[in-house]
Amino acid sequence: MKKILFVISLIFIGLSVKAQDGEYHVRIHGQQNKGVIFDAPAISIDSMYINENGELRVRKINDSHSFSFAEIDSLTFPWIPTGTGDIVYITYNGTSVDIVNPYPVTQVIISATEAKVSVTSLSSANITYCLSGTANPGRFEIDSQTTPTILMNGVNLTNPTGKAMDLTCNAGIIMELADGTSNSLADGTTSDKKAALMSNNDLLVQGEGTLTVTGLVQHAMKVKGQFNMSSGNIVIASSVLDGIHTEGLLVQSGNIDIQSCGDDGLTSELDGYINGGNITITSPTDDINGISADSTLVINGGEINITMSGVSANCIKADKELTINGGTFVLNNSGNVSKGINSNSTITITDGDISITSSGGTVVTDYDPSYCTAIKGDTDIIISGGNIDINLPTSNNGGKGISCDGNMTISGDNTIHIETHGDGSTYTASSGTDTYSSSCLRAEGDMQIMSGNITLTSTGKAGKGIKVGKKNGNTYTGAYTQGNADGSGPTLTITTSGAQIGSSGGWPPGPGGGSSSSRASAKAIKVGGVATIYGGTTTVNTSTSGAEGLESKTQINIEGGQHYFKCYDDCINSSGRIFFNGGVTVCFSNGNDAVDSNAGAAGAITIGNGVAFAYTTKGNPEEGFDCDNNNYIKITGTGIGISAGGSQGGGGPWGGGGGGTITNPAQGYKFYTSSYTFQAGKYYTLSNASGTGGTNMVTFSFESNCTSNLALITATGMVSGSTYYVKYGDQAPTGATTAFHGLYLGGTSSASTQAFSFQAQ
């Protein structure tokens, strides 16, 4: 033994020189995983020897300590960087505790009653407190003037009558989860405190260990400051109220797993910021939030996986602005009236991968339906990037994909895919019977879709792809704008297949005619105010009675882009005027009019400089262009208008069989009223010469045989009084500048068989 102590004394000689950037410490490690039971700078130790009781005596300059050899496992001599300070070791042993305090009692005061430890630090140093071991009942509380580091080194504390950990520190707290360790804190059902872990100031969590917290009375963790997570793992096993309740939130990295909360999972009273990390929250509780902020919430990154099955629950909720600039989201909200992402103010999405399944139902309360929605903003929604995938299964009856009470703007490089499968329904409203139904995109104010790749599918009864505006008395509000002035715009694909709901009614009769508050139909795009399409590519398919492609209660302007509508009901319908001022539009209806205006005035359907090819295979009385009186049609530009279909016939108010006269047309035209059947698979060319000669003014082909009793034909260069020929062949034109769903502009046509000819009006 003397030889051993002599060797140790020689080691001290080499270690007792303080380096410029650190110093060596002497540590005694205890048996049976008790951890470090003594720690002090080597320079502060005077000697080590065996005393008269056979104990190892460590004498420091100001005090001394004795240890039996039975409790010593080993000695180490670590190098400690300057500024880290001495470490206080607190080791819990069931109902007792071992404490190693290298500080004078005038600086760090530690008291323990059984395994309940209380620390008061008056030191100016930022001291590290290393906690290890298990105690029940056990507690750690600290009151410090500086910023302590609480090193969780495999500590497990349960306090049945109060907080397991209480941190009172004027300059914030650092909680270090030692690498590879498992730590736990829990209160008990007889506690009268508000959390198992309480911090009165900012709390920074770091390290690579795991902390599991259980709150059996109120919150699991409560931070009266900012909760800052930079690394490590936190598991909230359960909590009666919030999992983590904090005044401010900053998650930079690490993992947070919150399970079975009685209230919000991760909630901030002030602003919240999530820049990274992995957050998983699961809760079945009604009327709570997964992640919430009473002020603004900004998410810049991270992986967020939240499952909420309670009624009126929200996966993510902000009382003020909610901004998503990145991150990966997998959200599931299955309770009635629940929301995936919800804000009382504006929602802004610039980037991120967002996947939401909203499977809850609609609830009618006091004559007013409330919906289960994937993304809901009480004011505006602004989307300028990111990938959004939303699914509303059949159990979600009447829910919304993305919905706001204000304006919606979609721009930038985004991909949006939304499916709704639940049926709409009738309900008892304050004014009688009304209906509700699902919508993929819904804005009660205006909607602008400037760019992006957007696919919307609705299979439920009366489901809508896009719904804009609302009715106020006898007027409609809510403008829809698509694309940009240069013709660019979104790639928009909308499919609806849901049946009508409610009773029929209104005038005129038939699919799409009239209206009734107790009836609703599927619509691809339904707009209350003016619909203006500047550009982009639109593909619309509907397949059920009343299912129109684009409907506006006010007016429709098509200024550019390429747009294809294949609909059972009207492809384009407006209570006001419809203008084809630019772009290329192809409309094919197999159950109603292709284009229908109920304006009842001159210019009801106007061909400007745009191209419109509209036909119906339904037959009389459905038309390619229907505006109740063909004299209402105007030609104000040098565009192309081709319509084919049935005739309402007989003149009178319908102005049908006789064709009609267009006042002051900008170019020649023809109402062709003889019956002719256009064959699918043939290519029909309008030319100024018979046979193979002449100019190819436009070529068009039909998806199905179309028997037409009334066709309107006008094209660039047509002159009143000149003769023109419609001829057909089996090949599409070669070299066409535009080839879009059966419409071909430019190129060379091989059509030579004459269908009919006419003299332009």
pLDDT of 210-260, one tens digit each? 999 999 999 999 999 999 999 999 999 999 999 999 999 999 999 999 998
Q: Which two tokens stand for residue 553?
A: 């209660």
Reported confidence tier of residue 59, pLDDT bands at 50, 70, 90: confident
- pLDDT over 60 at 489, yes or no: yes
Bridge partner residues of 333 (DSSP):
308, 358
Q: Looking at residues 109-132, what average pLDDT do you find?
A: 94
* Mean of per-residue pLDDT scores for the chain: 91
Lowest mean pLDDT among 450-459, 502-511, 675-684: 502-511
Q: Looking at residues 305-316, what average pLDDT do you find?
A: 97
435, 518 Cβ separation under 8 angstroms:
yes
Q: Looking at residues 543-553, what average pLDDT do you find?
A: 96
Q: Which two tokens stand for residue 77?
A: 């001599």
Q: Looking at residues 285-291, what average pLDDT do you find?
A: 97
Q: What is the pLDDT of residue 190?
A: 83
CA-based radius of gyration for the chain: 38
Reported confidence tier of residue 4, pLDDT bands at 50, 70, 90: very low
| Neighbour count for residue 679 (Cβ, 10 Å) | 14
H/E element holding 274? strand 272-274
Q: What is the pLDDT of residue 22?
A: 66
Residues in the chain: 761
CA distance 169 to 226: 13
Q: What is the pLDDT of residue 1?
A: 43
CA distance 489 to 552: 20
The residue among 45, 89, 48, 92 whose CA lies nearest residue 67 is 48
CA distance 66 to 734: 100
pLDDT of 613-632, one tens digit each? 999 999 999 999 999 999 99
CA distance 580 to 401: 31
H/E element holding 10? helix 2-15
Q: Looking at residues 632-648, what average pLDDT do you find?
A: 95
Lowest mean pLDDT among 13-22, 31-40, 424-433: 13-22
Q: What percent of the chain has pLDDT over 90?
A: 79
Reported confidence tier of residue 3, pLDDT bands at 50, 70, 90: very low
Q: What is the pLDDT of residue 506?
A: 41
| Neighbour count for residue 365 (Cβ, 10 Å) | 8
pLDDT of 158-200, one tens digit each? 999 999 999 999 899 999 999 999 999 999 888 778 899 999 9
CA distance 497 to 441: 16
Reported confidence tier of residue 51, pLDDT bands at 50, 70, 90: confident
- pLDDT over 60 at 127, yes or no: yes
- The domains of the chain are located at 2-80, 594-761
Backbone angles phi, psi at 535, to 5 degrees: -175, -170
Q: Does the reported pTM lie above 0.95?
A: no
Q: Which residue has the higher pLDDT, 38 or 386?
A: 386
644, 708 Cβ separation under 8 angstroms:
yes
- pLDDT over 50 at 515, yes or no: no
Lowest mean pLDDT among 584-593, 656-665, 673-682: 656-665
CA distance 495 to 421: 12
Q: Looking at residues 202-213, what average pLDDT do you find?
A: 97
Q: Looking at residues 277-296, what average pLDDT do you find?
A: 97
Ordered alpha helix ranges (H), 607-698: none
- pLDDT over 50 at 375, yes or no: yes
Q: What is the pLDDT of residue 651?
A: 38
CA distance 641 to 650: 23
Q: Looking at residues 685-703, what average pLDDT do you find?
A: 94
560, 616 Cβ separation under 8 angstroms:
no
Peptide bond into 508 cis (omega under 30): yes
* 3-class DSSP assignment, residue 347: strand
